[in-house]
Amino acid sequence: MRIGIIAKPRKPADKVVSELVKWLRERDVEVFLDEETAVVAGLESNYKKSEIPYVSDVIVVIGGDGTFLSVARLAYGNDVPILGVNLGRLGFLTEVTLDELYDIMEKVLSGDYYVDERSMLEAFIYRHGEKVAEYRVLNDVVINKGTLARIIELETTVDGKFLTVYRADGLIISTPTGSTAYSLAAGGPIMYPSIPAIILNPICPFTLSQRPIVLPDTCEVEVLLNTENEDVFVTLDGQVGFALKVKDLVKVRKAKKKIKIIKNPNRNFFEVLRTKLRWGA
């Protein structure tokens, strides 16, 4: 088996990675690190992060949910399962703790693990009818204004049918996986990750009757920016940004392929919800 490892470049990742690499090599497992992870662990590698999904049978992500999201975008289309290991507090995506790491790695090496498939979104940005950018995300596509900008107008259609003009600070277009991220903070619904849906959630709408709406994941959403002279951006998974201009069109739909997440057999979605959101505390 070939194991790729990508870690967040901070302590205690250095010790965790170096010990895991040693443990895997003792079991005759091929290990691949990206250059940044190798430097953190005091090891050597010539692989770029974007190359790891192409040489691995399984990718181990050591960090937090943010690190996991960046790897999910890289792994899209490679059909390689991802195991998320959290360095600190339990994450919605990195749900394996350091204490559980080696027990679960034993199961991975023996093929005794369960994979959860998660839908992603693809976003296309058009300017004057020409496609100028495209992205894929696991959590969300967010159109939002800059800090000092006024309310923006977002003309929104679903499958070619007019929905509304959102006058708001922005609009979140989310997967069920992303329902527990920014969308939740903006008052959106929590959705079970396997539900085939897309969430539209306006951010601080001027009209309070404009509420979040859940759509089938077969829908294509189009958002036209009608506001001039304001700082407006598309943000992908909260990590990548693209500046919009008036009359730019953003198209969002379910991506053709899913990503595979190796599940922690000791934990389920409801337990993660209770832990993260402190239900019953």
**Do 193 and 113 meet the contact criterion of CB atoms below 8 Å apart?**
no
Q: Which residues are catalytic?
A: 65
- Residues, the chain: 281
Those residues whose C-beta lies under 8 Å from the C-beta of residue 47, and which sit 6 or more positions away, are: 32, 33, 34, 35, 55
